[in-house]
Amino acid sequence: MIYENVKAICDKQSLTIQALEQKAGLANGTVGGWRTSKPMAESLLKVASVLGVSMEMLLKKEDA
């Protein structure tokens, strides 16, 4: 869910996950790892800051 939210926002901003990780100062593959594990709050905050969104937006579950 978190990865999918991040990916969707990146797509809207024409930003790759790799570029996002670089801008946020995260190691390669960090965000991709969120497909199967939960991110550390500090990493999530960095990503939210780069994307210009709230952490809550990244954590939001899509309504079906």
pLDDT in tens, 20-31: 999 999 999 999
For residue 62, the model assigns a pLDDT of 65
The residues spanned by each domain of the chain are: 2-51
Q: 61 falls in which pLDDT band (50, 70, 90)?
A: confident
pLDDT in tens, 43-58: 999 999 999 999 999 9
What mean pLDDT value characterizes the chain?
94
What are the contacts of 31-40 at 24+ separation with CB within 8 A? 31/3, 31/6, 32/3, 34/2, 34/3, 34/6, 35/3, 38/2, 39/2
pTM score, whole prediction = 0.90
Give me the mean pLDDT over the 13-36 stretch: 97
